[in-house]
Structure 1
């Protein structure tokens, strides 16, 4: 009988809504505009290829998983650069090669399993020492293998083969997973200790996270977070202005978010990586010509609407190792043509087709940027063909092992400098064995080793010197710009984007700003 009354009441409510459709009727308790006010609606530029935590250094994965679903032992404050406790409450260097981490008590994973030192040991071993080829391994640790010990449930000891003065910073990149996680294959939907857990992932449609009621910290404001993805920035902006989304990432100034678009300094640097092992790109003069051909100032001004700064190096100001004395390559078409002519006269096959690879929705105006670069390269006498790819396809050319028999290619990269120290950038892109490196030398690798062993001002000076020397000795990158971003944000959400927002958007920092007449379900006590 109760079910019948409920059904009758629903039919009556629907009939009333139909009769008042012009007035915008919504179902009772459905929230403002017909949506649940306890759900944070987020639209991003692309579906995450995976939520595997050891791939969280990839922007498209990290923006969802890092510190939301899983957590590291330590977090880096994006504003101050300081390391702050998370799953580890304190850490200390016992000797040049040995660090001890004290672990937080009373933490459980979202599946109810307790977090212990064995889980921390397992997660680090899985991400760094295994054969899974985790991105965080190559990006953060390179070839380094770590020794791991657990004297008790609340203590983790990490040893390194050689002194590592920034080991805690490196450890902050490893997301902790339970020791029941697979070690033979990567997982798309992980278990973590974060404030949210995966509720439902309809591949190709949407991803829903739900508040983790077992979370050890303060409960986040929103009970759920729903991610959708739209490749066009104007569509994402329209979803904000039409109240179809609360947060929209990766917007450009022309996308139309208006007052709901919040500009912020992110930590991304864009560049063309030159596959310098393939002719004609293996000739230094050709690589120099590519650098001279790019009108960085024009691209930043016309396409980015001034939201950026022409780049002279892989890292921006504020990162240890930034060299303030470097200037971007000047735009000199005549000089570029001269270099190409000289190379051609010496038998370099400058007419050979070069692939110019971009990633769809990589940043606002990516397609137009690639087209401008193709035109500039064609003007100096190079034969360049554009290929736009989705994330999965483009990553094959960005990350080792690279496909075989590709021919010469240029690939647009966007490097997030969220670590705050140039060692990560150098090890990833400049060291000859780096996972995103296409060319290097043992001699330059030794310079990197020497610089990374230093601390303090000596470290800053040595790292800065490397960025001055790399274009002279190697030059496998044509830097474009240090980027700025625009985040679309609903008026009902309290959140200030920071330099890490593009890589790691912490949902727990987002609060509900109540519109008049609407109540949101309270946080659990």
Structure 2
């Protein structure tokens, strides 16, 4: 059945990269020792990370720097074939839905163990699904973004959590057969089973280190000992340490993994500044980093580095919080924002080769995209007229943007903010700038608390389904956008429940038309992010979903 779904989606493929980077003199001795001791092992790789991870329990995570690490520690039931958005087996050798889509039967690999030595079997799989469904506490539920988007509700919804749960139960028929029962069909499956938030974790470790303990104090959240110090999965690497003072996360080879790493050690070194990451690569202090500045591609290539550009599987948008300022509830004001931004110039001057202006919130490669939507070409005079008609020609807006981060859809947040805010000033809007660290309050302020009027965010697709984009953004009332549109919510729910294939794609095409008329936010661009490594790194396969796994990598 999974093959039928794949043939009906557009495929995204990317050529894997070869080549590599010499390690620095400071890391060379350690690497040489490990290569010698390991009898031809892959040694050590140091990767320059743009920011600190949130923590290491993927159930509570929704950001890329953390997922880059947890993808190395954990496995999901199904995964994306390296370099593509196609599906292939992972912990599950095969999967089969019932005719009504309400039951999924997973046949698991036998003999797999977590890195703590405990069995990864059907009972462990069901433990994880039951854990997510039965999660208690408003703080914990609020952090389970992906579970809320896909499974919609908990056994007992608390805080802002709402909706009737998709999940019903999980049965371990035998050690290698897990049966997932749903209350309703979900068009996002099986692709959504690849989400890193649905990675299978060790029940023993989860219980031993009180993994479900999440507390909130004001705008900040505190996570368990498990999440910060003892993550346990079946992935190619296992956690060794997180030195927050040095900004280093160290993983080591997991010898019991079904896909063991060639590297002995993988270190993520936090270097918030993109230029500093570039200099560290040139100096040999790191072996690679993500999201290089598009202006540096030529220089990096001239220096012998490998710059691999991914096809666009993401969208950058200007978020609009209608609850933040009553004037933003007028569609004419939102239209004025769209007409007032020179997206063509922004894409041309600030983004990488191959990037395009976004006409909707679904990239072109996703089934469900349609060109038949209302478009908002740059027209500052029309924008001024719309503001005047809405009585908003003296509008002041709080514009939030992140710092200490580089995202695949936003290589330089400060540059992006400057370009867009200057355009908005030209149509008469006064801008109050608010810059906050990505993992220091920004996402909570804009997504959990709605403090902003405008904000910059984006999305890299997690799986090949339009609902992963527009359903995630606009499928229910959220603090980020501050609107309640039952008609749109219902249309998205119907599209999500439609069967995979042509009917599913058509349903989302119709929803995309509604969204671009209502205009709850402004799509800016479909960027094409790159990843860069030096000439001696071999075996890394770049992914359109930024789903790079390092188990195939060696450093010579």
* TM-score, length-scaled by structure 1: 0.85
For 1:85-484, list aligned pairs within 5 A.
85-96=89-100, 97-131=102-136, 132-133=140-141, 134-143=144-153, 144-146=165-167, 147-173=169-195, 174-180=198-204, 181=206, 182-185=211-214, 186=223, 187-189=227-229, 190-204=231-245, 205-217=247-259, 219-255=260-296, 256-258=299-301, 259-260=304-305, 261-277=307-323, 278-326=325-373, 329-344=376-391, 348=392, 350-362=394-406, 363-392=410-439, 393-399=441-447, 401-403=448-450, 406=451, 408-433=452-477, 437-455=481-499, 456-473=501-518, 475-484=519-528
Q: Deviations over 1:94-131 (max 9, x none)?
A: 34111111111111111111112121112122234424
1:41 paired to 2:53: no
Distance 1:80 1:26 in 2: 36
Distance 2:31 2:184 in 1: 57
Q: Within 5 A, what are the aligned runs for 1:48-67?
A: 48-66=53-71
Over aligned residue pairs, what C-alpha RMSD do you find? Answer: 2.6
Superposition pairs for residues 4-43 of structure 1, below 5 Å? Answer: 30-31=30-31, 38-43=43-48
Deviation of the 1:440 alpha carbon? 3.8
Cα separation, partners in 2 of 1:461 and 1:119, compared to 1, 3 Å: same
Partner of 2:87: 83
CA distance in 1, matches of 2:79, 2:511: 27
CA distance in 1, matches of 2:530, 2:63: 20
- Does the Cα contact within 8 Å between 1:266 and 1:484 map onto a contact in 2? yes
Q: Does structure 2 conserve the Cα–Cα contact (< 8 Å) formed by 1:360 and 1:388?
A: no
TM-score scaled by length of structure 2: 0.80
Once residues 309 and 30 of structure 1 are traced to their aligned partners in structure 2, the CA distance between those partners, rounded to angstroms, is: 44
2: CA distance, partners of 1:69 / 1:78:
16
Q: Is the Cα contact below 8 Å between 1:129 and 1:145 reproduced in 2?
A: no
Q: Distance in 1 between matches of 2:490 and 2:253?
A: 47
For residues 315-372 of structure 1, the C-alpha deviation after alignment (integer angstroms, 9 at most, x for no partner) is 212212111444752011001000111111xxx5843443333344233222011011
CA contact (8 A) 1:43 1:245 kept: yes
Q: Which moved more, 1:241-250 or 1:124-133?
A: 124-133
| Helix, strand or coil at the partner of 2:266 | strand
Q: 2:34, 2:43 within 8 Å by CA — same for their partners in 1?
A: no
> Secondary structure at the residue paired with 1:100?
strand
State the Cα distance separating 1:32 from its structure 2 match. 6.7
**What is the aligned residue count?**
479
Q: Which has the higher contact order (CA 8 A, sep 6+)?
A: 2
* Alpha-carbon distance in structure 2 between the residues aligned to 1:145 and 1:80: 28
For structure 2, the 5+ residue unaligned runs are 1-23, 37-41, 154-164, 215-222
Deviation of 1:304 after TM superposition, in Å, equals: 1.7
Superposed counterparts of 1:493-508, under 5 Å: 493-495=537-539, 497-500=541-544, 502=546, 504-508=547-551
